[in-house]
């Protein structure tokens, strides 16, 4: 089989042209900016919700010798762990995880304590984050719409962050009690 001269060169040129097209597409995607970010955030929130639904189905299946209370505690611990380990952005995804935690059943005192305490700590934190985002948006607005209400929102957000920081150790303590009670069979 013979190759004609320059065949390798034309293949190299075709490869370079493909790379140039890929770079142009990547550059165009970079200019999509906020729209692309919003789409990625929504997609991430949908993936997290789908994963939680799958976990809920698995958790609802009867365990090997585990009581209903133990299964409930496992599902609650998992929901709190997923919320705690979730990235802070997109905030909408964490809001969905918190809503999932708030929907979890908690029929025993240790489960109810863990659910209520941790949900409160994360609700305060997410509310503060939302208020800070609103103030940031007002400050970045071209018309400078930030007024005295923005300062009040910022003060309220700071108070919620501090309160959340006070509640978080109680959440950790309630989780430890729930884990220990699960090992003892509630």
| Tokens of residue 16, six digits | 């370079």
The chain-wide mean pLDDT, for the chain, equals 78
CA distance 31 to 165: 38
Q: Find the mean pLDDT for residues 33-39.
A: 68
CA distance 91 to 125: 11
Taking only the tens place, the pLDDT of each residue in 160-179 is: 999 999 999 999 999 999 99
Helix axes 148-184, 109-140, angle to 10 degrees: 160
Q: What are the structural domain ranges in the chain?
A: 13-184
CA distance 46 to 93: 8
Residue 138 pLDDT: 80
Comparing 138 with 30, the larger pLDDT belongs to 138
Is 135 within 8 Å of 150 (Cβ atoms)?
yes
Place of tokens 């034309």: 10
Q: Which of 10-14, 88-92, 116-120 has the lowest mean pLDDT?
A: 10-14
Buried b (16+ CB within 10 A) or exposed e, 21-49: eeeeeeeeeeeeeeeeeeeeeeebbeebe
Residue 163 pLDDT: 95
Cβ-based neighbours of 128, under 8 Å, separated by 6 or more? 156, 157, 158, 160, 161, 164
Taking only the tens place, the pLDDT of each residue in 49-83 is: 777 766 666 555 555 577 888 999 999 999 999 99
| Residue 121 Cα to chain centre, angstroms | 15
Cα angle 27, 87, 181 (rounded to 5 degrees) comes to 160
CA distance 93 to 87: 9
Closest by CA position to 48, among listed 92, 105, 13: 92
Is 129 within 8 Å of 156 (Cβ atoms)?
no
Would you call 116 exposed, middle or buried from its count of C-beta atoms within 10 A (0-12, 13-18, 19+)? middle
């Amino acid at each position: 089989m013979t190759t004609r001269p320059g065949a390798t060169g034309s293949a190299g040129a075709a490869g370079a042209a493909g790379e140039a097209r890929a770079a142009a597409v990547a550059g165009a995607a970079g200019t999509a900016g906020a729209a692309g970010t919003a789409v990625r955030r929504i997609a991430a929130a949908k993936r997290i919700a789908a994963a939680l639904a799958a976990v809920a189905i698995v958790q609802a299946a009867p365990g090997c010798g585990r009581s209903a209370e133990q299964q409930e505690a496992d599902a609650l611990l998992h929901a709190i762990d997923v919320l705690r380990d979730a990235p802070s952005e997109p905030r909408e995804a964490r809001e969905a995880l918190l809503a999932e935690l708030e929907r979890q059943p908690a029929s025993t005192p240790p489960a109810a304590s863990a659910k209520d305490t941790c949900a409160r700590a994360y609700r305060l934190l997410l509310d503060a984050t939302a208020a800070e985002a609103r103030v940031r948006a007002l400050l970045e607005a071209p018309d400078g719409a930030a007024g005295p209400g923005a300062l009040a929102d910022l003060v309220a957000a700071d108070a919620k962050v501090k309160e959340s920081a006070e509640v978080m150790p109680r959440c950790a303590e309630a989780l430890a009690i729930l884990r220990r009670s699960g090992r003892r069979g509630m």
